[in-house]
Amino acid sequence: MSLNAGPTPLASLLQADDASARLAGLLDSATDAIVTMDAGQRIVQYNRAAERIFGWSCEQMLGQPLHRLIPAQFQQVHSDHVKRFAATGVTSRHMGGTALVHGVRASGEQFPLDASISQIDTSDGKLFTVILRDVTEKVRIEQDKALLVARLSALVESAMDAIISVNDAQHIVLYNRAAESLFGYSRQQAMGQSLDMLIPQRFRSRHQAHVRRFATTHVTSRRAGDATVLWGLRASGEEFPMEASISQVDADSGKLFTVILRDITERVRSQEAVRRFAVQAHAAIESDKTRVARELHDELAQSLTALKMDAIWMRDNLPHNVQSVAAKIDDMLSILDATVGATRRIAADLRPLLLDDLGLVSAIQWLVQSFSQRTGVACELVVDEELELAEPYATAVFRIVQESLANVAKHAKATRVRVDVERTFDAVLLKVNDNGQGFATQAPRKPASLGLMGLRERAELLRGSVQIDSQPGEGTRIAVNIPLDEPGANA
């Protein structure tokens, strides 16, 4: 709309002087509809934007009642409104308030309007001017937004997981129904409170540091504490393990963090049950092995030894003319020697009775010695002679050293090995380092290779961890850390 686009509807109508022509031009260049009516609510001025918005031309509307622009059902309200306005004598005010004003176009279509009204007294009586803005688009956007918000909150409300949002100050600004049942606080109790109320005291500062770090990394979402389980605090004071993921968005009012939380009490409980079962299964296997080893050693080896004694007696007491029988008996004796040796070895491999009879240190010393004898590889053992460990720790340590040394013998081509066993206040640390050819730890495992896996399993069943550090040409370092927190662990 331009001032130079020929006589405006208003200007041509008023046939006025320069000043009113300029005013009319100004009105016509406005993007809002500007309509003036007299005290009888008849239109006396109607600009270009009004033509565009309502679809009536200026010529059609001049002299018409304002009612023509208002839907029938709002007409009464509107004229009351104007009358009241006229009576108060206030010169201008906004009509919209919270309730929208409605207009009707020439096409009959109704639409929402933002309106303000002003009045002046002239010699011809009061004139009212309304400024009207078509807010169809704005209202539509707001409705879409409201719908989206409604859908989103329905989603949040129906979620099985607790969903909680906190602002920059870590105050709760969103708290869904699942959060209510998880934590036992109602929404009213939780909203506006610090997130701290849902976290056990001893984790609070760590948690805050975590959120701050997360805020500065600008990552938009991540799972908090991937490996470690987080702990929540219910209204009842009960603590429980949970799994969490956290996301952040920059809102107008600052950063907003949203955490999604899931109670994993049941999962943790069943994992713990499986773990206990596996520990017991290992103990049962070991005790079976112990029994068989002891029988082999005590019964079989001893009977064989007795047999050997008898054979020696027979050989020594033979009449002189039976040389061929003596040779036969010598053969029997060497077979018996080998069988006794094999029986002892099988028994020891099954379960070294030393472990039960003389303790872990002696058993490991024996293991290291026989490794060196068998392979010719020098093996240094660093262990406190006084070290003692209860079951199942002693067996676990022994088996881990056993498997590690078996691997060195089988794969490493090493010339030196060092075994370290150290007990700290609350853990046992175990290292087996060799200077052999090493291997690619990331390479896929051969299906038949269960040694390292079993080793890891043994450690993890006791809540321990295993670190295997190796590269082709670099030797191999196995480090195991097992916490000694089981009841009765401190032998």
Ligand X SMILES: Nc1ncnc2c1ncn2[C@@H]1O[C@H](COP(=O)(O)OP(=O)(O)O)[C@@H](O)[C@H]1O
Distances (CA, A) of 81 to 88, 91, 93: 11, 14, 11
Which of these segments, 92-100, 179-187, 248-256, 447-455, binds ligand X (CB under 6 A)?
447-455
Which of helix, strand or coil describes residue 189?
helix
In the stretch 353-382, what mask flags binding to ligand X with x, by CB under 6 A? ------------------------------
97 versus 447: smaller Cβ distance to Mg ion: 447
Which of these segments, 116-124, 178-186, 392-400, 448-456, binds ligand X (CB under 6 A)?
448-456
Q: Nearest approach, Cβ of 456 to ligand X (angstroms)?
A: 9
Q: Nearest approach, Cβ of 446 to Mg ion (angstroms)?
A: 10
Which of these segments, 72-80, 94-102, 355-363, 449-457, binds ligand X (CB under 6 A)?
449-457
Using the rule CB under 6 A, which residue among 9, 25, 352, 436 binds ligand X?
436
Residue 411 contact among Mg ion, ligand X, none, beta carbon within 5 to 8 Å by kind: ligand X
Q: Does 452 bind ligand X (CB under 6 A)?
A: yes
5 versus 453: smaller Cβ distance to ligand X: 453
Q: Does 439 bind ligand X (CB under 6 A)?
A: yes
Residue 438 contact among ligand X, Mg ion, none, beta carbon within 5 to 8 Å by kind: ligand X
DSSP per residue, 283-333: HHHHHHHHHHHHHIIIIIHHHHHHHHHHHHHHHHT--TT-HHHHHHHHHHH
Q: Nearest approach, Cβ of 458 to Mg ion (angstroms)?
A: 13
- Which one-letter amino acid corresponds to residue 440? A
Separation between Cα atoms, residue 222 and residue 360, nearest integer Å: 45
Residue 434 contact among ligand X, Mg ion, none, beta carbon within 5 to 8 Å by kind: ligand X
Residue 202 contact among Mg ion, ligand X, none, beta carbon within 5 to 8 Å by kind: none
Which of helix, strand or coil describes residue 444?
coil
Strands 101-104 and 110-122 turn out to be: antiparallel
Q: Which of residues 461-480 bind ligand X (CB under 6 A)?
A: 476
Which of helix, strand or coil describes residue 6?
coil
HEC string for 54-119: HCCCHHHHCCCEHHHHCCHHHHHHHHHHHHHHHHHCCCEEECCCCCCEEEECCCCCEEEEEEEEEE
344 versus 477: smaller Cβ distance to ligand X: 477
218 versus 446: smaller Cβ distance to ligand X: 446
In the stretch 377-416, what mask flags binding to ligand X with x, by CB under 6 A? ------------------------------xx-xxx----
241 versus 451: smaller Cβ distance to ligand X: 451
383 versus 412: smaller Cβ distance to ligand X: 412
* Residue 260: its H or E element: strand 254-263
447 versus 488: smaller Cβ distance to ligand X: 447
Q: Give φ, ψ of 110 to 5 degrees.
A: -95, 150
Distances (CA, A) of 219 to 172, 413, 414: 21, 47, 46
Q: Nearest approach, Cβ of 446 to ligand X (angstroms)?
A: 6
Q: Which residue has the tokens 């023509």?
A: 68
Q: Which of residues 450-469 bind Mg ion (CB under 5 A)?
A: 451
Using the rule CB under 5 A, which residue among 402, 407, 433, 476 binds Mg ion?
407
Q: Does 293 bind ligand X (CB under 6 A)?
A: no
Q: Nearest approach, Cβ of 412 to ligand X (angstroms)?
A: 4
Separation between Cα atoms, residue 123 and residue 118, nearest integer Å: 17
CA atoms within 13 A on the CB side of 463: 10
- Could you tell me how many residues of this chain bind ligand X (CB under 6 A)? 17
Separation between Cα atoms, residue 356 and residue 68, nearest integer Å: 105
Q: Nearest approach, Cβ of 478 to Mg ion (angstroms)?
A: 11
What is the sign, positive or negative, of the torsion defined by CA atoms of 372, 444, 469, 399?
A: negative
Separation between Cα atoms, residue 89 and residue 241, nearest integer Å: 68
Peptide bond into 483 cis (omega under 30): no
Q: Nearest approach, Cβ of 266 to Mg ion (angstroms)?
A: 36
248 versus 407: smaller Cβ distance to Mg ion: 407
Residues that bind Mg ion (CB under 5 A): 407, 451
Residues that bind ligand X (CB under 6 A): 407-408, 410-412, 434, 436-439, 446, 449-453, 476
